[in-house]
């Protein structure tokens, strides 16, 4: 099983689980099937395996209900945090004597905590809902990020300020892939904290939709943990 054709078969088969990949390649070796026919068979099998998770609602919610729209909202809020930082800290004094803080420090701290809370919970939910389709959610998050980076034109700010949310979001996604859900009490405390941080935005004149769109993942964690509690109790 050498040559360009079998190299392509081996490359495409990498998308299969290890045991399934070994079984498929073993069948090809036993039957003596040609490489190009084998490539079509493996490609069809890979496509079927990739489409199977999309029969459930969770990958759709993670990709199109969370990763795509929330990345847009979080980029906008990242710019807001960056502008608050710029207005709250005198960089000239910072370079010469240390740190000079304006009365906007409390606002900056509140916005930073809210950004981390929204990003982490959103990333956690994406990771827990789209384990086998995480690459789709990641792609739908990256596309608007790349678009905004290419169109960013605020001269006083670095274009990379739109990506402030990315580190806590990736951290949350990694934890979501590992744990799937968190316990009820920590989930409830986290949801209450995120909601409490959004309270100052209720009196603002800005749009309310981003605030609720970014806050619901925290309460989803509560519902998921609450739904899992009876199952744990029965197992015990």
User: Rounded to whole angstroms, how far apart are CA atoms 198 and 194?
Assistant: 7
User: Rounded to whole angstroms, how far apart are CA atoms 74 and 115?
Assistant: 7
What's phi and psi for 101, nearest 5 deg? -105, 135
pLDDT band, very low/low/confident/very high, at 233 (cuts 50, 70, 90):
very low
- pLDDT per residue as tens digits for the range 18-64: 777 778 777 776 776 667 777 787 888 888 887 888 999 999 999 99
209: pLDDT strictly greater than 70: no
Higher model confidence: residue 5 or residue 103? 5
Nearest to 137 by CA among 73, 70, 67, 198: 67
Task: State the pLDDT at residue 206.
Answer: 56
pTM of the entire predicted model = 0.78
Query: Domain ranges in the chain?
Result: 4-53, 56-229
Higher model confidence: residue 61 or residue 5? 61
Q: Taking the mean position of all CA atoms in its chain, how far away is CA 118?
A: 11
Q: Which helix (H) or strand (E) holds 23?
A: helix 18-31
Q: Taking the mean position of all CA atoms in its chain, how far away is CA 59?
A: 12
User: Rounded to whole angstroms, how far apart are CA atoms 169 and 166?
Assistant: 5
**Concatenated DSSP letters for 143-207?**
HHHHHHHHH---TTS-GGGGGTTHHHHHHHHHHHHHHSS--HHHHHHHHHHHHHHHHHHHTSSS-
Higher model confidence: residue 8 or residue 169? 169
Task: State the pLDDT at residue 2.
Answer: 58
All residues at 6 or more sequence positions from 25 whose CB lies less than 8 Å from its CB, including other chains: 1, 9, 10, 13
Q: How confident is the model over 140-148, as a mean pLDDT?
A: 94
């Amino acid at each position: 099983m050498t040559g360009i054709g079998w190299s392509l078969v081996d490359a495409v088969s990498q998308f299969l689980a290890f045991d399934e990949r070994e079984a498929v390649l073993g069948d090809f070796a036993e039957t003596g099937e040609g490489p190009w026919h084998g490539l079509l068979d493996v490609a069809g099998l890979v496509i079927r395996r990739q489409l199977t998770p999309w029969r459930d609602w969770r990958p759709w919610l993670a990709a199109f209900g969370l990763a795509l729209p929330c990345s847009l909202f979080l980029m906008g809020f990242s710019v807001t945090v960056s502008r608050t930082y710029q207005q709250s800290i005198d960089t000239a004094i910072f370079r010469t004597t240390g740190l000079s803080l304006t009365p906007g420090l409390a606002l900056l701290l509140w916005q930073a905590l809210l950004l981390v809370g929204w990003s982490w919970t959103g990333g956690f939910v994406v990771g827990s809902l789209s384990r086998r389709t995480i690459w789709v959610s990641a792609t739908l998050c990256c596309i608007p990020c790349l678009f905004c980076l290419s169109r960013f034109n605020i001269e006083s700010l670095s274009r990379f300020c739109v990506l402030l949310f990315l580190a806590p979001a990736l951290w949350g996604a990694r934890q979501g892939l590992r744990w799937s859900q968190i316990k009820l009490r920590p989930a409830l405390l986290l949801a209450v904290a995120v909601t409490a941080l959004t309270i100052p935005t209720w009196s603002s004149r800005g749009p309310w939709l981003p605030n609720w769109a970014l806050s619901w993942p925290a309460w989803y964690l509560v519902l998921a943990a609450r739904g899992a509690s009876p199952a744990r109790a029965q197992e015990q």
